[in-house]
Structure 1
């Protein structure tokens, strides 16, 4: 891949992974709308690793707490804040593993990559985000996260396997519908991304490991580094903006892009 192509893929992934606008939808659209070749699974894995490190760094305090609780959870003890957070994250990841496995085994994941479908999901789930953001309560914090809420948000995350839906957008919508404040909804959504990205990366990594070479490894390192920087900037900006701005700007972007894609798909 050319350096320009790597930079383009890395920036798109980094900027859109945590913003509620669908990174997978944008990456699928890139070759469709530009004529560039598909970047392939190896580069997809690399840019996801970059965004994974970005969210871990940004929420390092919470990640340390959850990691410290894993040994307690393994022993069957949920008697610390970390063990509770680790258990909630585990529960929230179950639906996406289940539905993701079904899509992969049936081959349905390849059927969900059309421009028209991405246009519809951009539009529909943009409106869902707007409705939940405007109607959702603000009285609940991330410290009140429950097993039930974790599972419900996990189902929203599983729905986001449909390209164009947006993992962060869907989970934030779910959290806002449950009454979590904007910043807390975004924080829970970002923490949920860690096990999800890690598991999907390991799964896909096993598939491409045998075909990896020195050139691909170099491209992957460049893509990972660039997506890390872009994701960290996007995440920092969004979390700061949420102190004073709603999710409406992202909704407007989604609606405009959805309408444009539908016009393109059906023209």
Structure 2
């Protein structure tokens, strides 16, 4: 049973990842997610069901459209695989806990928003804002069944704290922090606060650390200049996921550095 839950979550992640490819492409363009159906981006030919099996169809078609033979980006199966891996990891982290659906949703949102921010340097309100309600609704059963109202209140408090913190940063340094990041910060605060204040601190610190390291790497390789705008959303989401899986050990390690004799 311990291995079955991550395996099932991985299969679900493949299917969700396939849908996320549609979200990543269409939401920034304000296009419908339902119509038209999946089609080749080059010749617009509709993709048949057997050609739309996550990862396997791309491999069977050798990365090319069945109709026009134009290449189809490897990013499509990579998004599906990344979602599957994240879903499996989240399922292994939470098991059959009632908050599992909420954190699976967070993993899916993390993949979609990261790719969109890389592509267009935006975190669409169409995804971020509804996710506040979805996250709260998915966490509510865990609060009710586990009578864990302290976690729920902590999540709401952390949501307000991170929103206010990022809002202040955006006012002080508007060129370096967008209001899309501010809105995302509140959502991440809700999820991290549920886990504990150590997760909030680790996730926030990791976001700035990872963002700084990524920026330094781009500068060092000449792929960006000092005035190049770089998306911060992916670093925020990566920091939150790092805290999701490792906030406890990281906080304990850092506490040991501060008080080695304790």
On whether the aligned pair clears a TM of 0.5, the verdict is no
Which one has a bigger Cα radius of gyration? 2
Pick the structure with more helix per residue.
1
Which structure is richer in relative contact order (CA contacts within 8 A, separation 6 or more)?
A: 1
Q: What's the TM-score once normalised by structure 1's chain length? A: 0.32
